[in-house]
Structure 1
Amino acid sequence: MSEATMDGRHISCSQCQKQMRPVWTLKEMHCPSCQNLIKLTRNSSSSSSSRTSSNRYSVPGSGMTSATKLHPGKRAVLCGVSYKKRKYELKGTVNDVKHMKELLLRTFGFLEENILVLTEEEKDEHRRPTRKNILDAFQWLIRDCRPGYSLVFFFSGHGLRHPESDGDELDGFDESICPVDFTTEGTILDNDINSAIVRPLPKGVTLHALVDSCHSGTVLDLPYVYDIKKGRWLDNRPPSGAYKGTNGGLAICLSACADEELAADTSALHGKMSGAMTSSFIQAVWEKPGITYKQLLKAMQDVVDAANKSNCLNSRILSRFFHAKMSQEPVLSCSEMIAIEDMKFEL
């Protein structure tokens, strides 16, 4: 293990010299290139002075960078399901939520009171990630939205596929996310998510969904899916003709993998288990402010590939865990065919 002092925007790996931006809430992280474990320590003398004079550090007591503006018109639902004490328990989902919350607060100007967290660690029973509570959170997310609002739905947990008979799916399967009580109350289908937070989305409001689960490629049932290999949008509108778009707003979804693929956990990026998609997303956004959607997809894939080559990915498949190398490609879907080469990612 090597040690790096956090007294600037970047740190360097002592083994391969790669420059990277540290995640300030962590005590250690892995180099994404050589997997060297780096212990992070703060330079107290420099940080105390820099926080009041530089954009690099937090404004005292606020958790915000001085270059970041607070936006009351931003809301987020962050859901991490661990399925504690079950054979399919996940270890990284609570970490995913913590890191996503930190990113929203520090980088994108979200107010803490406008971030609703649902995990099994919450003491309030209404903030446990049950099916009912997640559906209630959807209603809170879109309630009284006005033009200019930015909404985020983040989910880290298990995902499943179900044969469907309504003619709504090109592949014949519905995708779903699994609440903590899914074995008794059922999953939340892509149709349910679309009806709850996509269809009602009014003009001038943008929704970003980030879904770190298996089979999540079209979990919002959005009309268009980007094929990064072909460099074009594919039509994902249902054969039945059912409308899956918004009420004038813009819905964008970043998913961990394609509908037929498995998502993975990894400890390669910061020493603690977390979703590979979540980790790669946060690292890409941290390291490249103003990144475009196309650059974001590429950066996320590069990070996952590096972890895969190091045998640091574990499958999130519900019934068993694999330690072999996996194929996982992040998927971008949207209610419109946006220009991902030019449009910058912003929450």
Structure 2
Amino acid sequence: MRVKSKKAVDDVKGPQQGNDKGPLATVRARALLFGLNYAHMPSSALQGCINDVQNMKAYLMNRLGAELVCDVATDDTAAGRTATSAMGMTRKLSELAVLTYKEDLEFVWIHYSGHGTRVVDRSKDELDGYDECLVPSDYTTAGVIPDDYLAKLFEQFNPKTRVIAVFDSCHSGTVVDLKYSWEGRACTMENSNSRVRAPIMALSGCLDSQTSADAYNVDGQRQYTGAMTSVMLHVLQTTGAAADDAFLLVDAMRAHLREQNFTQWPKLCSSFSLVLPSSRAMLPRRT
């Protein structure tokens, strides 16, 4: 599960300008953001996940402009708990996959902040013996969403649509079961059976064996956030090159998390080779 932490990300101030140069050229783009605090389940409650997706929405709207269609689902209302249920989340992802064809989308950003877990791999397709999972708002009755099922959802996306998927949750390293796993500039074949055709980069808050932290932000806003999401936004907003190169982004995030005494280790996976620098842009390039 995502874990509570009182470690401070003291220089992360939510959406800010820094080296952010404003909107990019207009692109056909959508974002789907899930933030789950589980306040309706006090024993599982988190505090920073809804803030994560609100901050991420502000950043994406600033970078991609008014043309971006952004769908934010949070579990702080009855309707939101339906949207963030197991059925609601998988339906939204499936509907987004359809829209990548219907609207000929060029770019999609997906963000999940919430609990993550892992269960014993009964299909025997995981090297570590576990399936990594997302935890919906109704997990006590509907169960979790395993990586095998997420992979099938991502198989539905248009091969012409570039997808960035961010998972700020525990045990999220390979939660989409993509083909390649990257460590620095070297890759290993994580899932040779992957049938995902869309060019997807997945950035996770930690390794499969690790937890991701909820952190209190003491920059004056008195705000809880996910450590991974906060650091990611900080790096994107203050290091211009990070938006153009996922390798640089991950390296900077890891260093910044270490500076803040977090032990989680963000992970990058992809459905395609990232050898060429032009393939590693986190956002559409400026024209």
The TM-score range, normalised by the shorter chain, is 0.7 to 0.9
Is 1:261 aligned with 2:210? yes
Which structure: larger Rg? 1
- Structural mapping, 1:18-97, within 5 Å: 30-31=10-11, 67-71=23-27, 73-84=28-39, 85-97=41-53
Shift of 1:170: 1.1
Could you list the per-position Cα deviations for residues 124-175 of structure 1 after superposition, in whole angstroms to 9, with x for gaps in the alignment?
3576411111011102211142455211111001001111121211111100
Q: Taking structure 1 as reference, are residues 340 and 219 closer, same or farther at Cα in structure 2, changes over 3 Å only?
A: farther
2:166 pairs, out of 210, 228, 231, with 210
Q: CA–CA distance in 2 between the matches of 1:126 and 1:336?
A: 34
2:141 pairs, out of 160, 167, 184, with 184
Is 1:194 aligned with 2:151? yes
- Ranked by relative contact order (alpha carbons within 8 Å, sequence separation 6 or more), the top structure is 2
Across the aligned residues of Structure 1 and Structure 2, the Cα RMSD in angstroms comes to 2.7
Please state whether the residue corresponding to 1:273 is helix, strand or coil: strand
Q: Which residue of 1 aligns with 2:271?
A: 335
Give the structure with the larger helix fraction.
Answer: 2
1:162 pairs, out of 102, 107, 119, with 119
Q: Which residue of 1 aligns with 2:61?
A: 105
Q: CA–CA distance in 2 between the matches of 1:158 and 1:126?
A: 14
Shift of 1:192: 1.1
Q: Which residue of 2 aligns with 1:277?
A: 228
Are the counterparts in 1 of residues 31 and 71 from structure 2 also a CA contact under 8 Å? yes
Counting matched residue pairs gives: 266
Shift of 1:341: 5.4
Could you list the per-position Cα deviations for residues 3-24 of structure 1 after superposition, in whole angstroms to 9, with x for gaps in the alignment?
xxxxxxxxxxxxxxxxxxxxxx
Please state whether the residue corresponding to 1:220 is helix, strand or coil: coil
Could you list the per-position Cα deviations for residues 34-53 of structure 1 after superposition, in whole angstroms to 9, with x for gaps in the alignment?
xxxx9x9xxxxxxxxxxxxx
Are the counterparts in 2 of residues 268 and 307 from structure 1 also a CA contact under 8 Å? no
Q: Which residue of 2 aligns with 1:53?
A: none
Q: Which residue of 1 aligns with 2:183?
A: 227
1:274 is aligned with what amino acid? T
Q: Which residue of 2 aligns with 1:346?
A: 283
Q: CA–CA distance in 2 between the matches of 1:269 and 1:151?
A: 32
Q: Which runs of 5+ in 2 are unaligned?
A: 1-8
Q: CA–CA distance in 1 between the matches of 2:174 and 2:239?
A: 26
Please state whether the residue corresponding to 1:124 is helix, strand or coil: helix
Please state whether the residue corresponding to 2:283 is helix, strand or coil: coil
Q: Taking structure 1 as reference, are residues 288 and 346 closer, same or farther at Cα in structure 2, changes over 3 Å only?
A: same
Q: Which residue of 2 aligns with 1:15?
A: none
Q: CA–CA distance in 2 between the matches of 1:81 and 1:208?
A: 19
Please state whether the residue corresponding to 1:167 is helix, strand or coil: coil
Shift of 1:275: 0.4
Could you list the per-position Cα deviations for residues 293-345 of structure 1 after superposition, in whole angstroms to 9, with x for gaps in the alignment?
1110111112211221xxxxxxxxxxxxxxxxx52110000011212756332
Q: Taking structure 1 as reference, are residues 141 and 286 closer, same or farther at Cα in structure 2, changes over 3 Å only?
A: same
- TM-score scaled to structure 2, two decimals? 0.84
Greater shift after overlay, 286-295 or 256-265?
Answer: 286-295
Could you list the per-position Cα deviations for residues 49-107 of structure 1 after superposition, in whole angstroms to 9, with x for gaps in the alignment?
xxxxxxx79xxxxxx97644443x21111001111141120000110010010011001
Please state whether the residue corresponding to 2:61 is helix, strand or coil: helix
Q: Which runs of 5+ in 1 are unaligned?
A: 1-28, 33-37, 41-55, 58-63, 309-325
Shift of 1:215: 0.2
